[in-house]
Amino acid sequence: MDKSGYNIAIASGKGGTGKTFVSTNLFNVLKQDSLPVTLIDCDAEEPNDREFFPGELTNCFDVTQEVPVIDASACTYCGKCAEYCHYNAIFFLQEARMIQVVEDLCHGCGACFVACEYGAITAKESVLGSVNTYQIDNNATLTEARMKVGVHSPVPVIKAAIKQAKPTDLVLMDAPPGTSCPFIQTVNLADYVVLVTEPTPFGLSDLKQSVETLKTMGKSYGVIINRAGLGDEGVYNYLEKEKITLLMSIPFDRKIASVYSNGKLLTNELPEWKAKFRELLSLITAQLWK
Amino acid sequence: MEIAVISGKGGTGKSAVSAAFATLNERVVLADCDVDAANLYLIFSPLIQEEKVFISGQKAVMDKDICSNCGICMDYCRFDAITEINGEILIDETSCDGCQLCVRVCPVEAITMIKEDKSRLYAGDFRNGKMVYGRLSPGEENSGRLVDVVRDKAKKMAKASDIDTTIIDGPPGIGCPVISSVTGVDRVVVVTEPTLSGLHDLKRTLEVTSNFSIKTQVLVNKYDLNEKMTDNIEAYCGEKGIAVTGKIPFDPRVVEAMVHCKSIVEYAPDSEVAQVISKAFKLI
């Protein structure tokens, strides 16, 4: 395996541990080393990667799903569509002859179209969000999944964004927090998962849950500890006990916090970090070969 | 009164603020609605009196002995969960959304649905009142519905124990579980941090709360890590007519408190952090 064509997800159970910080800096270093690289911002509820890289928007499209429209004149109020709908998105009162689509609850599964025997249901496109691709330089691409505010699940937008990745690129995926559906959809396609945590009891509790999930999925993974120096020894003891690779340790440092808070990249502002992020990639690659 | 603490961006200190709110003085019901990563139980070690199974959804399972590999289910599935590999039809559990359409269209009845029953609801006593939290099993869906269940339980506990105040610790993001956490509450407190990402996420979060017309106020955590960005946040909130009711300084004792299983109000009541949070709470 060479340095192209595989997928690395950067994830964390707990929010705000530094996923975006790690993703953007790793991307920045690979970009400067002229490796073909794509960064996909899969945190569709709150995408932020884009703010760190000026670039030209080269492609953008809406992600939609089909929601039903019920034609009251053709509807016989049989209720079969409501019975087929597993998401309670069709509100139906037989006696009152009342039927209504609750678009917010619809998952776009299409069951109601199959259910209706009277041709009373037609489809309408509803926008869930967009996928925006930016060319950052010749070899570096940034693709952003952006869910529309008010939409309930980011999963369809995330899936559509991941499909955009060039198979020959080294792909970095900035994953959404947690271990539920959006996280699973992202790491499912990863060859390696970098878990970013902080050395606190909250960080440890969430890290354990992420590790258990990745074990079940059969993924290889390693850990980055961010804000080292705050908190306690719990995470370190856990990594040792579980024999989990510590890929990198980033100290809590007001200087680093200040660089990030201004929307700047540590690997540009403090060049000694460039070498550390290169080393991070070598460590990941070594683990992949193992 | 129900007060929801949310943040948009993760890790801004939402749970630390919720923990402080929950230990200020009067007895409260504390509902940890970050069902994806419920953490407040670590600080409060509640005495659990009730554990309930939460059915989060269902998944399709194929019986290969019955399947005729006709592929009809694959044509109907809109979640790309059914694929054909070497002439054999397979269902990918990860992608399945549980809509059950494949079960309905299968001509040979080879597919059945199984319930996902690994998620839980816990309720009990903690040192300053009642506590309830949900735990969504990894990979499971419907976190919004689990939040609804947690809030229902919180309401019942508040009524039964005659407690006036309920603190809801919400999840990060702006999706379904967040909407469920803030729907119908009396007040939302958004905890943000002075970073570009924090400001960006705050904007999206305030869009959600204004869509629901909920009274909202903002706390800037670790404001002194970037005072210029804090000014930008204040200016933005000013424009939107939203009050910034507190600026919390960075203090390593917030993390120390957590390590000692205490809220900052319990651990360092005289600290500026505790004072600012307490003042913000009084303003509610």
Binned at pLDDT 50, 70 and 90, residue B26 comes out as: confident
A84: domain CATH number is: 3.30.70.20
Nearest to A152 by CA among A205, A236, A87: A87
- Here the tokens at position A66 are 């089909």
Chain A contact present for B36, CB below 8 A: yes
The answer to whether A261 contacts chain B (CB < 8 Å) is yes
CA pseudo-torsion sign A225, A227, A228, A232: negative
SS3 of chain B: the string is CEEEEECCCCCCCHHHHHHHHHCCCCCEEEEECCCCCCCHHHHHCCEEEEEEEECCEEEEEECCCCCCCCCHHHHHCCCCCEEEECCEEEECCCCCCCCCHHHHHCCCCCEEEEEECCEEEEEEEECCEEEEEEECCCCCCCHHHHHHHHHHHHHHHHHHHCCCEEEEECCCCCCHHHHHHHCCCCEEEEEECCCHHHHHHHHHHHHHHHHCCCCEEEEEECHHHCHHHHHHHHHHHHHHCCEEEEEECCCCHHHHHHHCCCCHHHHCCCCHHHHHHHHHHHHC
Q: Side chain identity at A24, as an amino acid letter?
A: T
Nearest by CB to B99, from A107, A151, A212: name it.
Answer: A107
Q: How far apart are the C-alpha atoms of B18 and B27, rounded to whole Å?
A: 14
Is A147–B258 a contact, with Cβ atoms under 8 angstroms apart?
no
Characterise B276 by phi-psi region: left (phi > 0), alpha (psi -120 to 50), beta (else). Answer: alpha
**Are A121 and A68 in contact, with CB atoms under 8 Å apart?**
yes
Query: Which of A7-16, A76-85, A252-261, B134-143 shows the highest mean pLDDT?
Result: A76-85
Computed on alpha carbons and rounded to an integer, the radius of gyration of chain B in Å comes to 22
Q: From the candidates A43, A45, A63, which should be mutated to test the interface with B, based on the most B CB atoms within 10 A? A: A45
Assigned domain for A2 exists: no
B232 touches A: beta carbon within 8 Å: no
Token pair 């229902």 in the structure block, residue = B152
On the question of pLDDT at B268 being above 80, the answer is yes
Work out the pLDDT band at A153, boundaries 50, 70, 90: confident
Co-location of A225 and A180 in the same domain: yes
pLDDT digits (tens, 9 = 90+) for B84-93: 998 899 998 8
**What is residue A3's predicted lDDT score, i.e. its pLDDT?**
42
By percentage, how much of chain A surpasses pLDDT 70?
Answer: 99
Buried b (16+ CB within 10 A) or exposed e, B142-166: bbbbbbbbbbebbeebbeeeebebb
Q: Which residue, chain included where needed, has tokens 């690659």?
A: A285
- Looking at the 3D structure of chain A, how many domains does it have? 2
* pLDDT of residue A228 exceeding 90: yes
Longest dimension (CA), chain B: 71
The predicted complex's ipTM stands at 0.86
Pairing of strands B2-6, B187-192: parallel
The mean per-residue pLDDT over the stretch B149-157 comes to: 97
- Which residue from A16, A180, A232 is facing B143, i.e. has the nearest CB? A180
Do residue B104 and residue A14 have CB atoms under 8 angstroms apart? no
* Preferred mutation among B39, B199, B209, B256 to probe A, highest tally of A CBs within 10 A: B39
**Does residue A125 lie within any of the structural domains?**
no
CB-based contact B10 A216, cutoff 8 Å: no
Whether residue A51 sits in one domain with residue A13? yes
Is A62 strand, coil or helix? strand
Residue A67 counted as domain residue:
no
Is A27 contained in some domain?
yes
Tens digits of residue pLDDT in B40-54: 999 999 999 999 999
What confidence category does residue A7 fall into, taking pLDDT thresholds of 50, 70 and 90?
very high
Q: Which of A48-52, A102-106, A112-116, B59-63 has the lowest mean pLDDT?
A: A102-106
Nearest 5 degrees, angle CA B136-CA B140-CA B144? 65
Lowest mean pLDDT among A264-278, B82-96, B187-201: B82-96
Q: How far apart are CA B122 and CA B11, in angstroms?
A: 24
Question: Do residue A27 and residue A166 come from a single domain?
Answer: yes
Residue A4: what pLDDT?
52
List phi, psi (to 5°) of B236.
-60, -45
Measured CA to CA, the distance from residue B204 to residue B198 in angstroms comes to 10
What CATH number is associated with residue A53? Answer: 3.40.50.300
CB atoms A151 and B95 under 8 Å: no
In a shared domain, residues A201 and A265:
yes
Residues 6+ positions from A218 with CB-CB distance below 8 Å? none
A230: which DSSP letter? B
Percent over 90 (pLDDT), chain A: 82
Decide if A83 contacts A112 (C-beta within 8 A): no
| B144–A261 CB contact, under 8 Å | no
- Does one domain contain both A139 and A106? no
A283's tokens: 């460590």
Q: Which of the residue ranges A1-15, A155-169, A271-285 would you say has the lowest mean pLDDT?
A: A1-15
A1 within a domain of the structure (yes/no): no
Mean pLDDT across B271-280? 97
Q: Mind listing the pLDDT tens digit for each residue in B82-119?
A: 999 988 999 988 889 999 999 999 999 999 999 999 99
The model's pLDDT over B128-137, given as tens digits with 9 standing for 90+, comes to: 999 999 999 8
CA angle (A153 as vertex; B237, A213 as ends), nearest 5: 110
The verdict on A197 and A237 lying in the same domain is yes
Residues of A in contact with B252 (CB under 8 A): 230
B24, pLDDT greater than 60: yes
Q: How far apart are CA B88 and CA B63, in angstroms?
A: 12
- Name residues whose C-beta falls within 8 Å of residue A280's C-beta, 6 or more positions apart in sequence: A26, A224, A247, A248
Q: What is the mean pLDDT of residues A16-43?
A: 95
What's residue A11's pLDDT? 95
The verdict on a CB contact (< 8 Å) between B9 and A16 is yes
pLDDT > 50? residue A1: no
Q: Do A114 and A167 share a structural domain?
A: no
Do A136 and A195 fall within a single domain?
yes
What domain range is A102 assigned to?
Answer: 72-119
Are residues B175 and A149, on separate chains, in Cβ contact within 8 Å?
A: no
Nearest CA in chain A to B113: A86
Distance from CA of A154 to the nearest CA of B (A): 7
Kindly report, residue by residue over A86-118, the tens digit of the pLDDT. Answer: 999 999 999 999 999 999 889 999 999 999 999
| Structure confidence at residue B271 (pLDDT) | 97
Q: Are residues A95 and A203 in the same domain?
A: no
Contact between A111 and B226 using a beta-carbon 8 Å cutoff: no
Task: Map out the domains of chain B with their CATH numbers.
Answer: 2-55+119-283 (3.40.50.300), 57-116 (3.30.70.20)
Average pLDDT, chain A: 93
- Dist CA B194 CA B230 (whole Å): 5
Distance from the A223 Cα atom to the nearest Cα atom in chain B, whole angstroms: 18
CB pairs under 8 A between A and B: 178
Residues of A in contact with B197 (CB under 8 A): 20, 46, 48, 51, 263
What is the pLDDT at residue A42? 96
Same domain? A53 vs A80: no
- Specify the pLDDT at position A152: 80
Let me know: does A58 contact A67? Beta carbons within 8 Å. no
DSSP A104: G
A283, exposed or middle or buried, with CB in 10 Å at 0-12, 13-18, 19+?
middle
Q: Which of residues 128-187 of B touch A (CB under 8 A)?
A: 136, 138-141, 143-144, 171-176, 179
Q: Which residues pair with A195 in a beta bridge?
A: A11, A223
Whether A51 and B197 lie within 8 Å, measured CB to CB = yes
Chain B residues with CB inside 8 Å of A231's CB? 255, 258-259
Per-residue pLDDT at A2 exceeds 60: no
> Which range has highest mean pLDDT (A22-26, A176-180, A256-260)?
A22-26
Same-domain status, A48 and A98: no
Question: Are A137 and A207 in a shared domain?
Answer: yes
